[in-house]
Chains A and B, each alone.
Chain A
Amino acid sequence: MSEQTMGNDRGAAAWRALRGIVSPKILGIIGLLAVVCLYTALASDNFLKVGNLENIVHRTALFGILSIGVAFVIITGGIDLSIGSVVCLVGVMLPWLLVQHGWSVAAGVAFVLLLGAAIGLVHGLLVTRLGLQPFVVTLCGLLIYRGVARGLTQDQSQGFGTAYKGLRSLATARFPIFGEGGFSLPATTLIFLVIAVLAAVFLNRTVWGRYLLALGRNEQAARYSGIDTGRMKLLAYVISSTLAALGGMLFVLDINAAQPSDFGNFYELYAIAAAVLGGCSLRGGEGSILGLLVGSALMVVLNNMINLAHPQYQNVEFAIIGGVILAGVIADELVRRAARRRPAA
């Protein structure tokens, strides 16, 4: 089947890209993703249908954007729990500003993205200047932004109705790359790929990326080496919240409606889980963008597996996803211990 070979090609390309730069543990998660895909494909005929694959790629991109953002914070040794609420705030504010208040598209989009950046700036300042714990700061953010979103909108669902087709195509457009009826590439995937490449270049090729990795591993040594660790951490929080805002915008453009009480619920946890699965250590200093991509895909495919293969288990979806993540992290730790016992040459 064409879909089957495509999966293999992707795996082979990923393999080539991984060699030399990526530790075996990312191969482990790729293996896990392959196993879950294979299982779902065998259990359900619908898995390999074009529409389903498009949907998986589309949702992987959306969650991947959030995950890249939080990865920057995790690399510094911090955490961002406010992502889901930023998604919600932006998700309801964009239609609220455009539809209820008649803002122009450019003004509305610019405003929500700047709002995201400003939120990150505040988080970063509280963490670096006041020395508050990232967990506490962003936990408060989680509560505040959702509260504000519900208050602003009187808890009413916000949407675009049938208007703003052009803007919504940012999230809904599909590019048929294999002709009519074949696989079409979602626009969100293109956006995600651009961000992923930028993030990978930033992290691996620029001085600031190196600074982030160094301070995540040993902040004191980084400071003693003349790195402005405070400013770098600030940057990480700004990136995280800005990408959360971008993600929130794309989510609402895609779905066309946002209910303030549950839009984006738990998304921070999906993003963090994907980052951890993808090789980010919560101790800081580690992270690969490719790993994040695979981690995000795994989250989405697990959800897909339950929907397609075991719809009767939808109520226990969280338990299944949690169990798989836990198994992945345990396997990762065991591999790491084995690696530590025979020191690298």
Chain B
Amino acid sequence: MTAAEVPHVEAPLLEVRGISKRFPGVRALDDVSLRVGQAEVLALIGENGAGKSTLLKILAGVQPPDAGEILVAGRPMRFWGVEDALEAGIALIHQELNLADNLDIAGNIFLGREPRRLGLLDLAAMRREAAEWLRMVGLDLDPATPLAELPIGRQQLVEIAKALSTRARLLIMDEPTSSLSARETETLFRVVKELRRRGVSVIWISHRLGEVKELADRVVVLRDGRNAGEIADRAGIEHDRMIRMMVGRDIDRLARRPSHRPGDVVLAARELRTPAHPKHPLSFEVRAGEIVGIAGLVGAGRTELLTTLFGITPAVGGAVAVAGRPVTPRSPIDAISAGLALVPEDRKQQGLVLEMAVRENMSLVSLWPESRAGFVDFARERRLSAEMIPALAIKTPGDRQAVQFLSGGNQQKVVLAKWLAMKPKVLLLDEPTRGIDVGAKAEIYDLVHRLAGEGLAVLFVSSEMEEILSLADRALVMHEGRLAGGLARGELTEENVMQLAAGGRAERMSA
């Protein structure tokens, strides 16, 4: 059985015309079109938030588009669910693999479609067929091997075998190499090339431009939810050209404010190793009055750096000093007593107790030091909210309002107020304006500038290029767990940030 020898068709295998998708407050995709021919590897690239994930979810039937058409082999399709997409021959290989690691390989490949005999699983048939699909992806393994025993790279090949077994003609692979070793990546490349030879098409989504150059026949670039260009000839697939296409929007950023004169070093990390990327020691300094942005792609280890500094995922090596005093935060309690504050990435899960009042959220961190023999100082609590609400321009009917009823921007200001109440030396911000409207964003930027002006050291992570460019005095760029480089004020351009952020191992860029 050679099911992967796909019969030839005239129309493009997949054509997408004018797809749009809106989420509350965001236009994720706006009139996006693309084509995938038979036996073609199409690379889909773009910055964080360019709309790649939304597009692939629509193609895989996870979400319906608001407008636009999907044609498979020239026939218009409507996908009401993942099954419809599979039926049409489109299979999505998720970034996080969707396998049951308590089952064996064969069980995973045929999950939900198990061959049966007399109502019972036909294990023999299952394993026989599974072995054939495994050979197709270059795996010479016993199909009865428990999945949990396979390294991640092989699990991914099993997932591809599973997709092929559903007669998929188009595989959509979302960041397939992000957790693979160099050798596993090589194997995957070989498999993809072999599949292409057999007539299978692939949409390859990756931040690693080196891979794109090696593998893709054609490149489609998305930017801010729109088509931002295409490279149709293999020879034209060049690193710098792709970067320019991903970035090249009109620069309409907010005017940068004068930078504050940096004072003494307040936060110093020496060879700091996070549990997420223990092989990459991180060294950097942040001075009083300085706003330092950490840029990088999703998964580059930026959030992990902040949570390690804050003691949530304690460091596995290295040293941290705050205002010259060494600290080793093993918990947020240690970090707070050293003068660190963290506005976390997930406001609702990590930043706030949603059902509690504005006032109670604001006082949560400073409750103990300001208490009298363990009793809450209610007068001080009222003073704090009476002071913070106007100072941060928080729109709330009152300080007894539960924070869950506030808008995202006002919620974020409550989180900030909570930390300002303890008078921190270093303010760590993780995606400080995620999901916040433009007006509140500008207010939060103003506030951060004001705080830096008062001598606070600010270190923030952002996935938004605009935010890095407009808020930071300088930037650290991370790539796969290491500091790929630092950019001083004068070097802080989108091109430079993207170069460093995308600097995969095959590329020449270095700090």
Contact = CB atoms under 8 A, between A and B. Distances in A.
A344 B364 CA distance: 22
Contact of A217 (B333, B342, B354): B354
B304 to A, nearest CB: 15
B353 A222 contact: yes
A224 B342 contact: yes
A45 to B, nearest CB: 46
A206 B364 CA distance: 12
Contacts of B333: 226-228
Interface string B219-239: 000000000000000000000
A204 to B, nearest CB: 9
A225 B402 contact: no
Interface stretch (A101-109, A208-216, A325-333): A208-216
A218 B333 CA distance: 17
B367 interface: yes
B376 A343 contact: no
B405 A343 contact: yes
A221 B374 contact: no
A217 B335 CA distance: 23
A213 B354 CA distance: 12
Interface string B38-53: 0000000000000000
A163 interface: no
Interface residues of B, number: 31
B371 interface: yes
Greatest chain B CB density within 10 A among A207, A214, A228 is at A207
A159 interface: no
Contact of A224 (B332, B356, B371, B397): B332
B188 to A, nearest CB: 36
Given A225-B365, A226-B365, A214 B401 contact: no
A205 interface: yes
A221 B351 contact: yes
Contacts of B332: 223-226
Interface in B388-445: 397, 401-402, 405, 418
A344 B402 contact: yes
| Interface of A, helix, strand, loop or mixed by DSSP | helix
Contact of B364 (A214, A220, A343): A214
A217 B360 CA distance: 13
A64 B332 CA distance: 37
B355 interface: yes
A168 to B, nearest CB: 35
B401 A224 contact: no
A285 to B, nearest CB: 7
A297 B375 CA distance: 30
Contacts of A217: 353-356
A285 B360 CA distance: 13
Contacts of A6: none
A206 B374 contact: yes
Nearest to A345: B397
B402 A210 contact: no
A206 B401 contact: no
Interface in B347-364: 349-356, 360, 364
Nearest to A218: B353
B43 to A, nearest CB: 37
B349 A218 contact: yes
22 contacts: A205-B375, A207-B371, A208-B374, A210-B360, A213-B356, A214-B360, A217-B354, A218-B353, A218-B354, A221-B349, A221-B350, A221-B352, A221-B353, A224-B344, A226-B335, A226-B336, A227-B364, A228-B333, A285-B355, A343-B405, A344-B405, A345-B397
Given A214-B356, A227-B333, 8 more contacts: A218-B349, A221-B350, A224-B310, A224-B344, A225-B332, A226-B336, A343-B405, A345-B397
Kindly list the 5 A-B residue pairs having the minimum CB-CB distance in the complex, ordered from nearest: A226-B336, A218-B353, A225-B364, A226-B332, A207-B371
